[in-house]
A and B are shown apart, each in its own frame.
Chain A
Amino acid sequence: MKDSLRDIRLLDDLARRQNPINKLHPLVKLLTTIIYLAVVVSFGRYEISALLPLIFYPVVVFALAELAPGRILRRIAWVMPLVIGIGIFNPVFDHQTVTIMNSTISKGWLSFISLVIKCVLTVAAGILLVATTGMEKLGAAMRIIGVPKIMVLQLLLTYRYILLLGDELARMLRAYSLRAPGHRGIKLAAWGSFAGSLLLRSFDRAQRVYAAMCLRGFKGDYNTGDDAKVGVRDLQFLIGWVAFFLITRSYNLPFLLGSFLTGVIGQ
């Protein structure tokens, strides 16, 4: 639990640094990410080689944004079990086989591997988006694409309060564990009043925070100040990557490359 809070704070810090990726317009990053995700998952279920060039996007952007890969890999590992849990049935149920370089492989395994690759790529792209953009700016981008004000506001508030409540909760848990040594969770009977009192405190805090916002002239819009326009560099980023995604989607690049090298294409 402390881990989750730390992760949020960390991503928050990352998003606030200055580098070419962070400086891009949030809208551009949001769109690129969504298109990327759509392209990744649109690949056929047995596709592996054609999928691989898409790894360029996360790799390049991670490098440009100077992010450390360790944390991202950890997050990916965290999500893996679900995908593996569902994907592992593919080899069980799909017994068709293909022959690659004289060895016979079950297509089920191919689709399983393809699924795992897709999972890695999509998770990486998602984390990349927050780590280089930050919640406030994403909120601004959402406003631009027409998400209602109340929803964006609500999202940003939720995000802010998570840290606050997280701290409060950590304190309460500490107090609980001091008085209930050796328990791992909280007894269900106590859970209701434990969570309930946290809830009521949160209720009151909500009122106060909102009052504080209103006192400073808040009328429902988060003004982040730098409502920058989409610039040339932003467009270059968007168009460049999207073109790359589409080319990857239409041509099996590694295959072409490999064919060229192994001379098959000259046939």
Chain B
Amino acid sequence: MSHHRVEARNLHFSYPDGQAAIQDISFTILHGEAVGIIGANGAGKSTLLMLLMGILFPDSGEIIVGDTRLTPKTLPMIRERLGMVFQDPDDQLFMTTVRDDVAFGPRNYHLDEQEVASRVREALAQVGILHLRDRAPFKLSGGEKRAAAIATVLSMKPDILIMDEPTSSLDPKSRRMVMELLKSFEHTKIITSHDLDMVLETCQRFLVIKEGSVAADGPAGEILKNPQLLHSCGLEMPLSLQKCPICGDQTKNFKSG
């Protein structure tokens, strides 16, 4: 099953204004793995995802998806297999109705209208907003927009799901909904977040980014047990692992997975 593998080799990237956002990042993500990319604001998480999707091209280094190297030529093929949910759902919703937005991807791959319709229904049902299908995206609340944005990606049935801060600015219920959704998605997942509780629940492996480089890479449990590491990377231990100041001293047990 090597075709769902994502590999980065010695990536370097600087923005046109000289900001070196990614410096020598390498990692391999295997089929079915759920990886949380964590790091402080400005660490380079979003930039890294854009490199993976081929929205930006690295100054040096390479990205390999399955057995294919990512180049402008292989881009369409690779993008068909990766689905990315953006940090800001407004960037992702540009049609006049939720239905059209979710259908946008499948239609671009020229599926027949029946197949498109059934995919749209499926994707919307999966994120629980089937009732919003005829609404205009700009009229949805933040959480509904997020759900719609996720549906736009799900309708394309990607092999690998990439999400940039999927739970930021969501209320607890919507956040829970997104988390359940992520857990139910059994393919390869790459998720960035500051919400360590969420990442902890959805990912087994953590990749910690600090100032454009990998500061740590390993099983969630190990990394979260290292407060110094987290602190130096501008992060805090997840609440679920902290001692609860109100209800006593019991430390919750860590479950992996």
Contact = CB atoms under 8 A, between A and B. Distances in A.
Interface of A: 9, 12-13, 16, 134-136, 157, 160, 163-164, 167, 205, 208-209, 211-219, 221, 223-226
B55 to A, nearest CB: 4
Contacts of A160: 94-95
Given A16-B96, A208-B86, A216 B91 contact: no
Contacts of B95: 136, 160
Interface SS of B by simple majority: helix
A211 B79 contact: no
Contacts of B97: 16
Contacts of B202: none
A215 B153 CA distance: 9
Nearest to A221: B108
Give the top 7 A-B pairs by smallest Cβ distance, nearest first. A217-B108, A216-B105, A223-B107, A208-B91, A211-B55, A212-B92, A160-B94
A213 B94 contact: yes
B80 A217 contact: yes
B27 interface: no
A9 to B, nearest CB: 7
Given A213-B94, A217-B109, A163 B138 contact: yes
Given A135-B96, A211-B50, A212-B86, A164 B138 contact: yes
Most interface-central of B86, B91, B138 (chain A CB within 10 A): B91
Contacts, number: 77
Contacts of B153: 216
A262 B109 CA distance: 67
Given A215-B84, A217-B79, A217-B109, A209 B94 contact: yes
B64 to A, nearest CB: 18
B100 A225 contact: yes
B206 interface: no
Contacts of B79: 214-215, 217
Given A215-B53, A215-B79, A217-B76, 18 more contacts: A9-B136, A16-B97, A136-B96, A160-B94, A167-B138, A205-B91, A209-B94, A211-B50, A213-B104, A214-B55, A216-B104, A216-B105, A216-B108, A216-B156, A217-B105, A217-B156, A219-B108, A225-B100
A22 to B, nearest CB: 13
A217 B108 CA distance: 5
A216 to B, nearest CB: 4
B161 interface: no
A134 B134 CA distance: 14
B90 interface: yes
Contact of B113 (A205, A214, A215, A225): A225
B96 A12 contact: yes
Interface string B123-147: 0000000000010101100000000
B76 A212 contact: no
A108 B57 CA distance: 68
A225 B103 contact: yes
Most interface-central of A209, A212, A224 (chain B CB within 10 A): A212
